[in-house]
Amino acid sequence: MNRADKSLIERILTARVYDVAKETPLDFAKNLSQRLANHIFLKREDLQPVFSFKLRGAFNRMFHLTPEERARGVVAASAGNHAQGVALAGKTLGIKTTIVMPKVTPDIKINAVRSFGGEAVIHGNSFDDAYAHARHLEQVEGMIFVHPFDDLDVIAGQGTIGMELVRQHPDPIDAVFICVGGGGLVSGVGSYLKYLYPNTKIIGVEHEEAPTLHAAWKAGQRVQLAQVGTFADGAAVKLIGEQTFELARQVVDDVILINTDETCAAIKDVFEETRTLLEPAGALGVAGIKKYVEQQGWQGKHLIAITSGANINFDRLRHVAERAELGEGREVLLAVTIPEQPGSFRQFCRAVGNRSITEFNYRYSDAKDAQVFAGVKTAGGKIEREKLLAELRALNYSFVDMTDNEVAKVHLRYMVGGHGQGVENEMIYRFMFPERPGALLHFLTSMSAGWNISLFHYRNHGSDFGRVLVGMQVPLEEREAFNQFLDKLGYEYWDETDNPAYQRFLG
């Protein structure tokens, strides 16, 4: 290693972080290890007092300020986690802190900054907008700017995680998977580990909508991205740091990109492992392990993922849950054409076999064909998915696989419906189905063969009962038989035919 690298190692060894940070555990992930046939460990930085590793670098930087600099106050720019670290460090050290945060910052992070006594200034639509405004305040107000990643004291503070890993896992580590935003974490931890163990692979993991290191890696120089996605807001940076990139290109062995579905699946994996909910950026390391192991065919390796943050807004959980099954390959989304005639639903359910229907959306359109949007639960993986599609082809179903279609996943599944054209004698009922295989088929086989289903909406919500909305065309003279059907069915139900939501949008 060169002189600068040795200087960084000295900074890491002498970094001051434990006034506010704690040595987080390295947990063995039993379930993931069994599934992936490797030894998987989670470095639990989500357990820090601010639920992120960022307070290490922030405190180390601010601790080294001179008395004169401390008196001037500190300004920082952050998408949230660095902000909390700066605010907590300021409270501990008695330094006034002002943090500029973009509008996309989750409320949970903004509120945390204020609870630590920091002044949160909301400005711009991205980290870069916030960064520019913070530098403006630095000049106008004379405050000291604390960079979120491109500063050697900040990098050294993050590098203390590497010191802990060496103590906690004394046996050889095959690879460490580290999320990348501006590059402070990967350059700090990577530099320390590579200094002691050159054979340990350092794998940078980025969301595909913010590939700062990946783009720079390919170009051989830093690349300003035109725009970045904000799903993994903790790592949504348009330009990797100058110092962090120079360090990363020396110590990082590979970079892997992760999509939203894979990120959500990793959040679910860690929840099932630890009962902790990571934020998207915090789960990138785990998603990286899963993808890299599959690509490389690794088995029996000792692999570590840094779970870097758990500052997730509660209202994002629904989106995470929806996408997690797709990320694991355990749900297939299909647009299927079936004949517009009684019994077609029942035949399609039988074609799906013993697999659970996770979603079913349908609205009557014309008298010939019906377009159904369906979700089907599978055992996972491409083989099971292809098996299902082959079975449907063998039965001459016309369909389009929508599993990888972003419009379908984000919008279409919530928009299927509309006013029925030419639908007579329609009744709308809401049902509570028990969430078990065969519940839908039992409903369909119990119906009279002459009653046509004109609307159907169902989505598995992970609870004991599924909520289903059904429209059925039942002639007036058959209403008594219909009531008998409802009584014998054994499911809770409500008549919603007069509901204004149906009358205005579906009737």
Classified by CATH at the fold level, domain 56-145 comes out as: Rossmann fold (3.40.50)
Q: In what order do the strands lie in the sheet with 302-306?
A: 26-28, 39-43, 302-306, 175-179, 201-207, 254-258
275: left (phi > 0), else alpha (psi -120 to 50), else beta? Answer: left
Spell out the residues 6+ positions from residue 40 whose beta carbon is closer than 8 angstroms to its own.
28, 29, 32, 33, 289, 303, 304, 305
- The tens place of each residue's pLDDT in the chain, 507 residues long, gives 444 467 999 999 999 999 999 999 999 999 999 999 999 999 999 999 999 999 999 999 999 999 999 999 999 998 778 999 999 999 999 999 999 988 878 788 889 899 999 999 999 877 788 899 999 999 999 999 999 999 999 999 999 999 999 999 999 999 999 999 999 999 999 999 999 999 999 999 999 999 999 999 999 999 999 888 878 888 888 999 999 999 999 999 999 999 999 999 999 999 999 999 999 999 999 999 999 999 999 999 999 999 999 988 887 888 788 788 777 778 888 888 888 787 887 888 888 877 887 787 777 666 777 778 888 888 777 788 889 999 999 999 989 898 888 767 766 666 556 666 677 888 888 888 776 667 777 777 787 777 888 888 776 655 556 778 888 889 999 999 999 988 888 888 889 888 877 777 676
Domain 3-53+152-323: give its CATH code. 3.40.50.1100
| Residue 365 confidence (pLDDT) | 65
What are the CB-based long-range contacts (under 8 Å, 24+) for 356-359? 356/437, 356/460, 357/440, 357/458, 357/460, 358/325, 358/331, 358/459, 358/460, 359/333, 359/413, 359/458, 359/459, 359/460
| Residue 74 confidence (pLDDT) | 97
Residues taking part in catalysis: 54, 308
Domains 3-53+152-323 and 56-145 share a fold: yes
Answer for the pair 387, 353: CB distance below 8 angstroms, yes or no: no
Whole-number Å distance between alpha carbons of 263 and 269: 10
Answer for the pair 430, 501: CB distance below 8 angstroms, yes or no: no
Classified by CATH at the fold level, domain 329-505 comes out as: Biosynthetic Threonine Deaminase; domain 3 (3.40.1020)
- Take residue 203 and report the two structure tokens written for it: 């794998």
Domain definitions of the chain by residue range? 3-53+152-323, 56-145, 329-505
Spell out the residues 6+ positions from residue 396 whose beta carbon is closer than 8 angstroms to its own.
none
How many other C-beta atoms lie within 10 A of the C-beta of residue 117? 13
Q: CA separation (Å) from 135 to 143, 200, 350?
A: 9, 37, 63
| Residue 462 confidence (pLDDT) | 57
